[in-house]
Structure 1
Amino acid sequence: MDIESERLKLQEVGWDDLADIHRLHSYSEVDEYNTLGIPKDMEETKESIRPMIDDQKSEKRKLYFWKIVVKNSDEFIGIAGMNLSLNKFKLGEIYYKILPSHWGNGYATEVSRTLIKTGFGDFKLHKIEAGVSTENMGSIRVLEKSGMTREGLRRKILPIRGEWKDNYHYAIVEDDPINY
């Protein structure tokens, strides 16, 4: 399932995207609020994305994982994903990561809005959620610009570089005002 927005294409990840994803995960700026940590080698990156690629063959998919490319150049600029609950709660959780060289262009907001639109439109979700470190002001702004509401605080839930960090819980429900 591929998705398009005004400037971007979200294309399902395959094994041929491994080098780009490894490069993305190797930036310390990208890792700053990430619980994965910088991978020690390509094999570690491969194992971290295996569940999402394997799930593409599943009859009841719950993991969607896209590479983000700029429409007019096909340049890889990041990844995005959505995890579905596949139950009566009709929940989805979104995430995204953008290469630092492309920060400040509105791409993360465009991706977030596109994922929300896809979640409600294609997946018929009731609620879409996202978690964000309380220190990650950039992603907090993205989620709020995308129409999500801060619903709560989860204390010391994110293991980041040996420390437990707090996480804000954001969400939007299908009958909220939608900003896409």
Structure 2
Amino acid sequence: MNLETHRLCLTEITSEDIKHIHNMNQHPAVAAFNTIGIPKTLSVTQKLLQPILKDQQRKERSIYAWTIKLNSTDEFIGEIGMHLSSKKYSKAEIHYSLLPKFWGNGYATETVKKVISFGFETLQLHRITAGVATKNEASIKILEKVGMSREGHCRKILPLSSGWADNFEYAILEEDKRNY
């Protein structure tokens, strides 16, 4: 299922996107907050993306993941994903990464809003969460801009390349006010 905003196209990840995602994750500014580690080779990135590609074939999905491309040029600028928990809890966690040259243009905010709307309107979720390193100020601003509330602070839970880092937990509920 592809999604679109006025400036961006979110297309479900395919095996052809692996190289773009791998190259993005090699960028030091992106890798700084990457909790899964920096894939050293393209084949490692491919292995990391295999569960997503397999899940796309299932009727009852637990993972949605999209590449983010500019509508005007079809240029790859990042990726965003949503991992659903068990149906009983009706919730999902989102994550996203953008190439640094596209930071500061509102693309991440636009993308996160679209995926949150998809989660509530299409998937009928009750709650959407996101975790963010306490030092990732840009991402904190994005989560607050889209209406998420900070609900918690976990100490030294994120295994970053720089060492263990603290994490803020954010969430938005289906009944929370959104202006999008």
Q: TM-score, normalised on structure 2? A: 0.97
Task: Answer with 131-140 or 56-65: which moved more.
Answer: 56-65
1:143 Cα deviation (Å)? 0.2
Q: 1:104: which partner in 2?
A: 104
Count residues in correspondence.
180
Q: Which residue of 1 aligns with 2:11?
A: 11
Partner of 2:92: 92
CA displacement at 1:36 relative to structure 2: 2.0
Residue 149 in 1 paired to residue 149 in 2?
yes
Q: Deviations over 1:91-130 (max 9, x none)?
A: 0111110001100100010011111111100000000000
Q: Aligned letter for 1:171? A: A
Counterpart in 2 of 1:56? 56
1:6 deviates by 1.6
Q: Classify the secondary structure of the residue corresponding to 2:83.
A: strand
Alignment-derived partner of residue 171 in structure 2 = 171
How much is the aligned-residue C-alpha RMSD, in angstroms? 0.9
- Partners of 2:36 and 2:84 in 1: CA distance: 20
- 2:161 aligns with 161
Q: Is the Cα–Cα contact under 8 Å of residues 32 and 162 in structure 2 kept in the other structure?
A: no
Instruction: Give the stretch that moved more between structures: 86-95 or 7-16.
Output: 86-95
Q: CA deviation at 1:162?
A: 5.7
Alignment gaps of 5+ in structure 1 = none
Aligned partner of 1:117 in structure 2 is 117
1:10 Cα deviation after fit: 0.5
- How far the C-alpha of 1:38 sits from its partner, in A, is 2.0
| 1:161 CA displacement | 1.5
- 1:55–1:61: 8 Å Cα contact kept in structure 2? yes
**Letter matched to residue 142 of structure 1:** I
Q: Is the partner of 1:88 in helix, strand or coil?
A: helix
Identity %: 46
Q: CA deviation at 1:82?
A: 0.5
Q: Is contact 1:77-1:98 (8 Å) kept?
A: yes
Moved over 6 A (4+): none
One-letter code aligned to 1:74: D
Instruction: Give the distance between the partners of 1:108 and 1:179, measured in 2 at CA.
Output: 16
- Structure 2 residue runs of 5 or longer lacking an equivalent are none
Distance 2:114 2:151 in 1: 21
Amino acid in structure 1 at the alignment position of 2:125:
L
